[in-house]
Homo-oligomer: A and B are copies of this chain.
Amino acid sequence: MLIILGPDHSKEQLDGVVARVSALGYKPHIIPGEHGTAIGVTGNAGPLDPRVFESLPGVKQAIPVTKSYKLAGRDFKSPDTAVEISPGLSVGAGRFIVMAGPCAVESREQTLRIARLVKKAGAHVLRGGAFKPRTSPYAFQGLGEEGLKILAEARAETGLPVVSEALDPASLELVYKYADVVQIGARNMQNFSLLREAGKLDKPVLLKRGLSATVDEWLQSAEYLLAEGNARIILCERGIRTFSSHTRNTLDLNAVPVAQKLSHLPVMVDPSHGTGVRDKVVPLARAAAAVGAHGVIIEVHDRPDEALCDGPQAMPPEVFAELVETLKKLGGVLGYTL
């Protein structure tokens, strides 16, 4: 923490701040300057709330210095973390990982059909929602455990590991039972009790960034998982909310190299939710690879007009196959395998 006093502060005000810092058990360092006095604070175990000092007389600003996460940061662990999903398949280990499948599991036939298609096209992991967080209470909410059983059957047939979203303690238990990767969605990025439960699991967690979350808050949510002992976290950028409404969300590819610099965790991108519009998914998926993401997660549906959920952002299987080909070729330039 650095505390700034204005040019016309009194001796008493300076003494007051110094006394307060000392009373809290920290060490104050006075730095005189032309435009006021600064006081550096050291000795704190974690980040301090700047507003604690900003309310003292004479103080103009208090600036936090200590990071608000530890285990998720490069200071704690410098080399990249690779998260193993299944034997021989890891995210963050030089291979660009493609997860694909329907938004929601709608039926056994639909899921098996699409699973075969994405497997054939080159996907590494099958995605599919059994529990769907829907803005409206009247929208299709997913098949629940039945959906997870279908995903497990699709895995048995295709060999693709499965990622699926959990919404609450009850669904977390079920997703853990059937899936290989547990997804925490954007709306639950700060559902801290759910994070704590997921932190106790021995399976990887795909942690999506919240619609209004800073990268710092995203890493603090990862810290909840890490603090409980789960080190297998895959971050996933999926679009933020801005004034810019030509796409459903604003996919923030800037966040990919930023998160990769601050954290050792791998970072994937979800261009389907990030844009919400089918014909924007291919260009943004290519851009995700070019920006250096460790993989993408894509919604694919062979009959999007019949989809019960987000059909308009789903990609037909033949377009997906072509995209995988392009991503493979881009790897030749960008230095990854697929």
Contact = CB atoms under 8 A, between A and B. Distances in A.
Contacts of A67: 35
B169 A169 contact: yes
Interface residues of A, number: 110
A137 interface: yes
* Binding site secondary structure of chain A: mixed
A123 interface: no
A276 B51 CA distance: 9
A44 B40 CA distance: 19
Contacts of A8: 75
A110 interface: no
Nearest to A23: B305
A330 B43 contact: no
A182 interface: no
Given A20-B305, A55-B278, A254 B250 contact: yes
A168 B169 contact: yes
A224 B50 CA distance: 31
Contact of A43 (B34, B220, B244, B291): B34
Interface string A103-147: 000000000000000000000000000000111111000000000
A61 B68 contact: no
A53 to B, nearest CB: 9
Contact of A69 (B69, B134, B136, B223): B136
Interface string A249-280: 01111111110010000000000001111111
Nearest to A186: B190
A156 interface: no
Interface stretch (A85-93, A94-102, A200-208, A282-290): A282-290
Contact of A51 (B20, B244, B277, B291): B277
B246 A243 contact: no
A303 interface: no
Contact of A133 (B167, B192, B292): B192
Contact of A280 (B4, B196, B257): B257
Interface of A: 2, 4, 6-8, 20, 29, 31-36, 38, 40, 42-44, 46-47, 49-52, 54-55, 61, 63, 65-69, 75, 133-138, 167-171, 187-188, 190-194, 196, 210-212, 214-217, 220, 223-224, 227, 240-247, 250-258, 261, 274-280, 283-284, 286-292, 304-305, 310-313, 326, 329-330, 332-334
